[in-house]
Structures are given as structure tokens and as C-alpha cells.
Amino acid sequence: MLKNSSILITGGTGSFGNTFVPMTLKKYNPSRLLIFSRDEMKQWEMAQKYQNDPRVVFVIGDVRDKDRLSRALDGIDYVVHAAATKIVPTAEYNPFECVKTNIDGAMNVIDACIDRGIKRVVALSTDKASNPINLYGATKLASDKLFVAGNGYAGMHDTRFSVVRYGNVMGSRGSVIPFFQSLVATNELPITDERMTRFMITLEQAAELVWHAFEDMQGGEIYVKKIPSMNILDIAKAVNSSAKLKFIGIRPGEKLHEQMIGFEDAPYTYGYKDYYKILPMIHNWHNDLLRIKDGIKVANDFIYSSDNNVEWMSIDALKQWINQNRPKMGIN
């Protein structure tokens, strides 16, 4: 599907984009892969890697600016919407800016993609959108609802929208592993709560989930990857087993455990070999056989959270992953 196509990724200079772009170039050889983002320095740095590759194009723009977004979408077939204000404390203290990017920006993407006749759009979501307790999660829940409803909003247009949802991305900028690594010299690691658990997914797995969504989607599905969990103490041990642990308490808006599928979603959720699929509640789409395919309905009391997971990552497995991915995280 993506082979020889034209793809645009919003917020494409982030951790996800820096993994998705080379993987997609190698696997699908798109005719054009356009990076749309507002940070000129990140674009300049990323562009150095592709200065001899005419397939990769960089455009400065903000999803808050619908006209600029529409111009960038000219001739595009597929869109990955990765742009977001996503640092939880930043969103708590700057709520209006978070709403402008995550909600208003999502609406701009939906409108512009419909107007430009984009074939399919996959939006990136987060575990924090499931039963949100912080503003970031609330705005991403609103964004998810917008993209799901966008399939009806498109009317007679052929544009289709779906969402992929995943938890803590291992090694991504601002995440716990590189943060702990930056403190190795101090031999002290801050721990919010010893009970805290997190889902663990690699950037490569996140990119592959987006590929699968493009291939599988009918419109309105939320795809959730089956991934292992870890306790925060085990993550700390994998990074520096000799470090002193300093307990600092949970940050504003932070959850003790991550949740990707809530109790209320269970009646609309189906399980597959490597992922779950939450089908839309609206328009009776959750009964559509084209969307269900070979899925198996989960139990009505099903909840997918990092503390009740059946799969757990060991300390040794994380140590091995860290050693293999040091260069990607800028670690010597």
C-alpha cells in the first residue's frame, strides 16, 4: 500500500519520526516522505541524514495553521499525525497551549486531509487517553474521538482515519530510560513511587503498528499493541543496579499505572495475535465484520493496564536492549 506513495508525517522530527522515516524508506521506498514540523533546528539536524535522498522533503509548519498544513498536503496519499504537546507537567502548567496543538491541531488535520482527498490517516495516541487524569491525556482522548468521528464527518469523501495507541516508548526523548542514564554519574535515581509500572514498547514496534494500521483499517479503529510491562524499580536496576534510590512522589497529573484499554472499552474490543483493536461505538461500526475480521471478543470486564499485564520484561532483557541501543539514545 505505501510502496511508491507520498507520505506526510506531522511532528516528524521527534523520536517516532526519526525511527519511522528510515524504516519506511527502506521497506516501502515511497516516492516522497514529507516531514512537517515547527522546529527548524530539529529539521536542519535531521535533514543532514537525508541530504542526498530526494525522497525526503522538509517543510516548516504547525498543525495549528490549517492553511500551511493544507499547502503541505498537496499531492500526499497518506498521513501520520505525530505532532503533539505531550510532556505531562508542561501540559498541566500550559493547558491552553496543549489544547491548541492536541485538539485544535487534530481538527485542522482532519479538515485539511478531507479537503485534500488524503486516502488514509493514522494518528498517534497514548495510554494517557484511556481514563485520563491529566490534561495531556484528556486532550488526546478528545483527539482520538475526533479522528474516529472524522470517518463520518468525511461524508462522501474517501478519506479514512484510525488511531494507534501505545505506552512508554523505550529510549524516546524525555522518557525514563535516557533520563536515568543521564544521572548515572550521580549514582542516585529519583523514583516517584515504588509501585509504579509502565508498558514497554520500542520505537520500531510503534512504527510497525502504524504500518499495520494503514493496511488493516476500515476507519475508526484504535490499535493497541500487546507489549510487556515493568516495575519502575526494575527499570532503575537495569540502568544502574548500584544507584541510591530517592523517592520523590508522583508528579502532577501522573498515573501510578498505565492503562490502554479501559473497562468501558471492553464491549467494543477484539483481540488478535499481537494487538487489540477498539472498534468505534458510533454508527454501529463495532458490529462491522470488515472491521472485526478474525478478532476474538475480549471479556466484558477486560482491562489492559501495566499492572495486570500477563507479559513482563525482565531486568536482564532491558539491560540487553539498553546496550544494543546506546547510540540511538546518545549514550556512550
Given this model, what pLDDT does residue 202 score? 93
Q: What residues are paired with 199 via a beta bridge?
A: 229
The answer to whether residue 237 is domain-embedded is no
Q: Is the pLDDT of residue 326 over 90?
A: no
Domain at 128, CATH number: 3.40.50.720
The answer to whether residue 268 is domain-embedded is yes
The answer to whether residue 251 is domain-embedded is no
When pLDDT is cut at 50, 70 and 90, the band that residue 312 belongs to is very high
Boundaries of domain holding 41: 6-167+201-226+260-303
Relative to beta strand 197-199, strand 120-126 is unpaired
Cα separation, 286 vs 309, whole angstroms:
25
Given this model, what pLDDT does residue 270 score? 98
Residue 330 gets the label, from left (phi > 0), alpha (psi -120 to 50) or beta, of: left
Q: List active site positions.
A: 128
**For residue 24, which of 225, 226, 210, 162 has the smallest C-alpha distance?**
210
Phi, psi of 123 (to 5 degrees): -100, 140
| Single pTM value for the model | 0.94
Of 22-31, 55-64, 89-98, least confident by mean pLDDT is 89-98
The answer to whether residue 314 is domain-embedded is no
CA-based torsion, 227, 229, 232, 234: positive or negative:
negative
Number of domain units in the chain: 1
When pLDDT is cut at 50, 70 and 90, the band that residue 46 belongs to is very high
Q: What is the mean pLDDT of residues 255-260?
A: 93
The answer to whether residue 136 is domain-embedded is yes
Mean pLDDT score of the chain: 94
Neighbours of 282 (CB within 10 A): 13
Given this model, what pLDDT does residue 250 score? 86
Tell me the residue type at 167. Answer: G
The answer to whether residue 266 is domain-embedded is yes
The answer to whether residue 325 is domain-embedded is no
Q: Is the pLDDT of residue 134 over 70?
A: yes
Q: Is the pLDDT of residue 199 over 80?
A: yes
